[in-house]
A and B are shown apart, each in its own frame.
Chain A
Amino acid sequence: MKKFYKFLILFLLIALLITVPKTHAAVGYTYSHSGEPIYSTVGLASSTSGIYTIISDQWTSESGEALLASEFTSPEDLFLYQEEDNLGNVLDIIYIVDSVSNNLFVFDENMRYQYKVTEYEIRPEDFSDEEILNIKTAFTDNNKNTTSIKFTEYLQKKNMNLADFRAIEEIPYAMRTDAQKFYLDCFGLSGIYRNVRPAKNPDGTIIRGVYQDLIYLSDKSNNQIVIVDAEDYHVVQVVTSPTDISFAGKIFMPVKLVTDVAGRMFVISEGVYEGIMQMSYEGQFSSYIGVNYVSMTFWQVFWRKFMTDEQLAQTETILNTIFTSLTIDDEGFIYATSRAVNDTDDTTMIKRINPSGKDVLTRNGYSVPKGDLVYIKTGTDVSVRGPSRFSAVAVNDYGVYTLADGKTGRLFSYDDEGNLLYISGGSGNELSDLNNPVAVRYQGDNILALDKENQSVLRFEPTEIANSINKAVKYHYEGNLVASSEEWKNVVSQNPNYEYAYVGIGKSLLNEGRYVEAMSYFQTGFSVDYYSKAYKLYRDVQVNKYFTGVMSVVLIAIAAGVGYKVYRSIKYKKSEETGMGDE
Chain B
Amino acid sequence: MMNANAISKTNKTANFWKKVKQVLTYIYQEYIKFPAYILIHPLKGFDAFKRDKKAKMSVSLVFVAMLIILQILEFQYTGFVVNQRDLNDLNSFQEMAYVIVPILAVVVGNWSVTTLFDGKGKMKEIFMMVCYSLWPLIMTKIVGMIFSNAITTEEAGFYGLIIGLGTFGMGYMIFFGLISIHEYGLLKCILSIAGTAIAVMVLFFIVMLGFDLFQKIIGFLYTLYREISLRYL
Contact = CB atoms under 8 A, between A and B. Distances in A.
Contacts of A533: 152
B150 A532 contact: no
A159 interface: no
Interface string B70-84: 000000000011001
B153 A529 contact: yes
Interface string A290-326: 0000000000000000000000000000000000000
B52 interface: no
DSSP class of A's interface residues: helix, strand, loop or mixed?
helix
Contacts of B154: 532
B88 to A, nearest CB: 11
Contacts of A529: 153
A34 B150 CA distance: 24
Contact of B84 (A526, A535, A536, A539): A526
Q: How large is the interface on A (under 10, 10 to 19, 20 to 34, 35 or more residues)?
A: 10 to 19
Given A528-B80, A528-B81, A535 B86 contact: no
B81 A531 contact: yes
A34 B81 contact: no
Nearest to B86: A34
A523 B80 CA distance: 7
Contacts of A539: 150, 152
Nearest to A531: B80
A532 B150 CA distance: 10
Interface string A520-538: 0001001011011101100
Interface string B120-158: 000000000000000000000000000000101110000
Interface string B20-64: 000000000000000000000000000000000000000000000
A305 B57 CA distance: 56
A532 B154 CA distance: 8
Q: How large is the interface on B (under 10, 10 to 19, 20 to 34, 35 or more residues)?
A: under 10
Interface string A530-550: 011101100100000000000
Nearest to B154: A532
Contacts of A536: 152
B226 to A, nearest CB: 35
Of B80, B81, B84, B86, chain A has the most CB atoms within 10 Å of the CB of B80
Contacts of A531: 80-81
A36 B36 CA distance: 44
Interface string A231-255: 0000000000000000000000000
A523 B84 CA distance: 9
A34 B154 CA distance: 22
Contact of B153 (A34, A526, A528): A528
Of A34, A533, A535, chain B has the most CB atoms within 10 Å of the CB of A535
Interface string A157-172: 0000000000000000
Interface string B83-103: 010100000000000000000
Interface string A84-118: 00000000000000000000000000000000000
B134 to A, nearest CB: 29
A169 B197 CA distance: 88
B75 to A, nearest CB: 15
A528 B150 contact: no
B98 to A, nearest CB: 20
Nearest to A526: B84
B55 to A, nearest CB: 38
Contacts of B152: 532-533, 535-536, 539
A533 B154 CA distance: 10
Nearest to B156: A532
A529 B84 CA distance: 12
Contacts of A33: 84
Contacts of A523: 80
Interface string B146-179: 0000101110000000000000000000000000
Nearest to B150: A539
Interface in A406-433: none
A531 to B, nearest CB: 6
A288 B150 CA distance: 48
A483 to B, nearest CB: 28
Interface string B179-204: 00000000000000000000000000
A29 to B, nearest CB: 18
A535 B148 CA distance: 12
The 9 A-B pairs with the shortest beta carbon distances in the complex, nearest first, are: A532-B153, A532-B152, A536-B152, A523-B80, A532-B81, A531-B80, A535-B152, A528-B81, A526-B84
15 contacts: A33-B84, A34-B86, A528-B80, A528-B84, A528-B153, A529-B153, A531-B80, A531-B81, A532-B81, A532-B154, A535-B81, A535-B152, A536-B152, A539-B150, A539-B152
Interface of B: 80-81, 84, 86, 150, 152-154
